[in-house]
Chain A
Amino acid sequence: EAGVTQFPSHSVIEKGQTVTLRCDPISGHDNLYWYRRVMGKEIKFLLHFVKESKQDESGMPNNRFLAERTGGTYSTLKVQPAELEDSGVYFCASSLGGGKANIQYFGAGTRLSVL
């Protein structure tokens, strides 16, 4: 069974450009989460989808970030326009159920470098 996959593994862009990150969850997992780790700090929650609906987007830093999950399968996270402080590693995770005891399985992350 394929795990959570993220594309690209590394993206280097200039300040002001747009970048789109993609996450393919484990097949059948309705719950999808985005997290990011900036500058070696803690991994922090961005948002949570249940199928195609945003269940919780309390961690989204500002309106330059847009997450979508059309059709309830893969998800994209767009940063437009990118700023220097957006550099970091963006992780995606998925879980079968939405309960607190459901295990979240993580992808390898996308390393975003904004120059």
Chain B
Amino acid sequence: AQSVTQPDIHITVSEGASLELRCNYSYGATPYLFWYVQSPGQGLQLLLKYFSGDTLVQGIKGFEAEFKRSQSSFNLRKPSVHWSDAAEYFCAVIISSGSARQLTFGSGTQLTVLP
């Protein structure tokens, strides 16, 4: 079945440490890829997106993600985590073929940042 997988439900890192959140998708063609973040009491905010071209994309708040076609992955990274990065992170896709416009989300990764 077509799906988006975020294997880590919860990740804890220390402030200043590096971060990598994993995302894999299972679709025949490369979908449009997104990472969203939801802080407490806030809506989902777009961090970055990948449609085509350079496979390393830069986003807001110092985040980046790398698309790897061979691994069907779009992992999110940040070299040095700040306490304010504590939030829930969602990987999402839009299928590139067909008429569907909706986002399909992974189950989310909750990030805790230790002082």
**Is B101 in contact with A100, judged by CB distance below 8 angstroms?**
yes
- On B, residues with C-beta under 8 Å from A are 4, 32, 36, 41-46, 49, 51, 90, 92, 94, 96, 99-108
Q: Which residues of A contact B104 (CB under 8 A)?
A: 45
**Is A108 in contact with B42, judged by CB distance below 8 angstroms?**
yes
**Is B43 in contact with A108, judged by CB distance below 8 angstroms?**
yes
Q: Which residues of B contact A42 (CB under 8 A)?
A: 4, 105-108
Q: How far is the CA of A48 from the CA of B4 in the complex (A)?
A: 20
**Is B101 in contact with A44, judged by CB distance below 8 angstroms?**
no
Known: A42-B107, A100-B94. A91 touches B101 (CB 8 A): no
Number of residue pairs A-B, CB distance < 8 angstroms: 59
Residue A85 lies at the interface, judged by CB distance under 8 Å to chain B: no
Q: How far is the CA of A93 from the CA of B103 in the complex (A)?
A: 10
Residue A2 lies at the interface, judged by CB distance under 8 Å to chain B: no
Q: How far is the CA of A99 from the CA of B100 in the complex (A)?
A: 9
**Is B51 in contact with A101, judged by CB distance below 8 angstroms?**
yes
Q: How far is the CA of A108 from the CA of B42 in the complex (A)?
A: 5
Interface string of A78-115 (1 = CB under 8 A from B): 00000000000001010000111101111111000000
**Is A45 in contact with B103, judged by CB distance below 8 angstroms?**
yes
Residue A16 lies at the interface, judged by CB distance under 8 Å to chain B: no
Q: How far is the CA of A41 from the CA of B99 in the complex (A)?
A: 25
Q: How far is the CA of A59 from the CA of B102 in the complex (A)?
A: 10
